[in-house]
Amino acid sequence: RKKVDLYNQLQLLAEPQSLTICFTYKSDFEKENDKLNLEIRETLMKKGLSLVNYGYLKEKVAIRLVISNPDIEEKDLDEFFENFVQMGSVLENEKSIVQQVVQAEKCLIIE
Protein backbone atom coordinates (compact mmCIF):
# COMPACT_ATOMS: atom_id res chain seq x y z
CA ARG A 1 0.00 0.00 0.00
CA LYS A 2 2.79 2.41 0.86
CA LYS A 3 4.32 2.08 -2.60
CA VAL A 4 1.02 2.82 -4.37
CA ASP A 5 0.45 5.85 -2.14
CA LEU A 6 3.81 7.30 -3.22
CA TYR A 7 2.52 7.96 -6.75
CA ASN A 8 -0.27 10.39 -7.63
CA GLN A 9 -0.81 8.42 -10.84
CA LEU A 10 -1.73 5.23 -8.98
CA GLN A 11 -4.92 4.39 -7.13
CA LEU A 12 -5.42 1.53 -4.71
CA LEU A 13 -8.66 -0.25 -5.66
CA ALA A 14 -8.98 -2.38 -2.52
CA GLU A 15 -7.24 -2.79 0.77
CA PRO A 16 -4.37 -5.26 0.32
CA GLN A 17 -5.33 -8.86 1.10
CA SER A 18 -2.52 -11.14 2.23
CA LEU A 19 -0.04 -11.16 -0.68
CA THR A 20 -2.11 -9.25 -3.28
CA ILE A 21 -2.22 -5.53 -4.07
CA CYS A 22 -4.89 -4.32 -6.53
CA PHE A 23 -4.27 -0.92 -8.08
CA THR A 24 -4.72 1.04 -11.27
CA TYR A 25 -2.91 3.77 -13.19
CA LYS A 26 -5.14 6.85 -13.30
CA SER A 27 -5.11 8.34 -16.78
CA ASP A 28 -6.02 11.89 -17.72
CA PHE A 29 -8.24 10.18 -20.28
CA GLU A 30 -10.55 8.48 -17.77
CA LYS A 31 -12.52 6.60 -20.43
CA GLU A 32 -9.25 4.98 -21.52
CA ASN A 33 -8.10 3.84 -18.05
CA ASP A 34 -8.80 0.14 -18.52
CA LYS A 35 -7.21 0.02 -21.96
CA LEU A 36 -4.17 1.99 -20.79
CA ASN A 37 -3.60 -0.27 -17.77
CA LEU A 38 -3.66 -3.34 -20.00
CA GLU A 39 -1.25 -1.63 -22.42
CA ILE A 40 1.15 -0.80 -19.58
CA ARG A 41 1.04 -4.40 -18.37
CA GLU A 42 1.57 -5.79 -21.88
CA THR A 43 4.42 -3.41 -22.72
CA LEU A 44 6.30 -4.14 -19.48
CA MET A 45 5.92 -7.86 -20.16
CA LYS A 46 7.13 -7.58 -23.78
CA LYS A 47 10.15 -5.54 -22.65
CA GLY A 48 10.97 -8.18 -20.04
CA LEU A 49 10.67 -5.68 -17.19
CA SER A 50 7.89 -7.34 -15.21
CA LEU A 51 5.11 -9.87 -15.32
CA VAL A 52 2.03 -8.84 -13.39
CA ASN A 53 -1.51 -10.13 -13.59
CA TYR A 54 -4.81 -8.28 -13.76
CA GLY A 55 -8.43 -8.81 -12.98
CA TYR A 56 -11.61 -6.78 -12.70
CA LEU A 57 -12.69 -5.04 -9.52
CA LYS A 58 -15.76 -2.80 -9.41
CA GLU A 59 -15.91 -3.05 -13.22
CA LYS A 60 -12.41 -1.58 -13.57
CA VAL A 61 -9.21 -3.25 -14.68
CA ALA A 62 -7.21 -3.91 -11.54
CA ILE A 63 -3.51 -4.62 -11.76
CA ARG A 64 -2.97 -7.52 -9.34
CA LEU A 65 0.52 -7.56 -7.90
CA VAL A 66 1.08 -10.77 -5.95
CA ILE A 67 4.19 -10.69 -3.79
CA SER A 68 4.99 -14.29 -2.91
CA ASN A 69 8.75 -14.46 -3.40
CA PRO A 70 10.44 -14.41 0.02
CA ASP A 71 13.62 -13.06 -1.58
CA ILE A 72 12.01 -9.92 -2.98
CA GLU A 73 13.65 -6.76 -1.74
CA GLU A 74 12.45 -3.20 -1.31
CA LYS A 75 14.46 -2.12 -4.36
CA ASP A 76 12.63 -4.71 -6.49
CA LEU A 77 9.27 -3.19 -5.55
CA ASP A 78 10.61 0.32 -6.10
CA GLU A 79 11.78 -0.68 -9.58
CA PHE A 80 8.45 -2.33 -10.44
CA PHE A 81 6.37 0.70 -9.46
CA GLU A 82 8.79 3.15 -11.08
CA ASN A 83 8.67 1.17 -14.34
CA PHE A 84 4.88 0.93 -14.18
CA VAL A 85 4.35 4.65 -13.62
CA GLN A 86 6.99 5.63 -16.17
CA MET A 87 5.46 3.38 -18.84
CA GLY A 88 2.01 4.76 -18.03
CA SER A 89 3.29 8.28 -18.55
CA VAL A 90 4.96 7.38 -21.86
CA LEU A 91 1.86 5.65 -23.22
CA GLU A 92 -0.41 8.42 -21.98
CA ASN A 93 1.75 11.06 -23.71
CA GLU A 94 1.60 9.06 -26.94
CA LYS A 95 -2.21 9.01 -26.70
CA SER A 96 -2.26 12.76 -26.10
CA ILE A 97 -0.14 13.42 -29.19
CA VAL A 98 -2.34 11.19 -31.34
CA GLN A 99 -5.46 12.98 -30.11
CA GLN A 100 -3.90 16.37 -30.89
CA VAL A 101 -3.08 15.24 -34.43
CA VAL A 102 -6.60 13.89 -34.96
CA GLN A 103 -8.08 17.15 -33.65
CA ALA A 104 -5.82 19.20 -35.95
CA GLU A 105 -6.84 17.06 -38.93
CA LYS A 106 -10.52 17.60 -38.09
CA CYS A 107 -9.94 21.36 -38.04
CA LEU A 108 -8.27 21.23 -41.45
CA ILE A 109 -11.15 19.24 -42.92
CA ILE A 110 -13.73 21.68 -41.56
CA GLU A 111 -11.90 24.70 -42.96
CA distance 75 to 84: 14
Q: pLDDT-derived band of residue 87, with 50, 70 and 90 as boundaries?
A: very high
In whole numbers, what is the pLDDT of the chain averaged over residues?
88
For residue 110, pLDDT beyond 80? no
Give this prediction's pTM: 0.83
Residue 73 pLDDT exceeds 80: yes
Q: Both ends of the chain: CA-CA distance in Å?
A: 51
| Whether the Cβ atoms of residue 22 and residue 62 lie closer than 8 Å to each other | yes
Instruction: Report how far residue 29's alpha carbon sits from residue 31's, in angstroms, rounded to the nearest whole number.
Output: 6
CA distances from 73 to 7, 14, 17, 18, 69 (A): 19, 23, 19, 17, 9
Q: pLDDT digit string (tens) for 46-72? A: 999 999 999 999 889 999 999 999 999
Tally of domains in the chain: 1
Distance of alpha carbon 101 from the chain centroid: 24
**CATH at 98:** 3.90.1150.10
pLDDT number for residue 43:
97
Q: Which domain holds residue 29?
A: 2-110
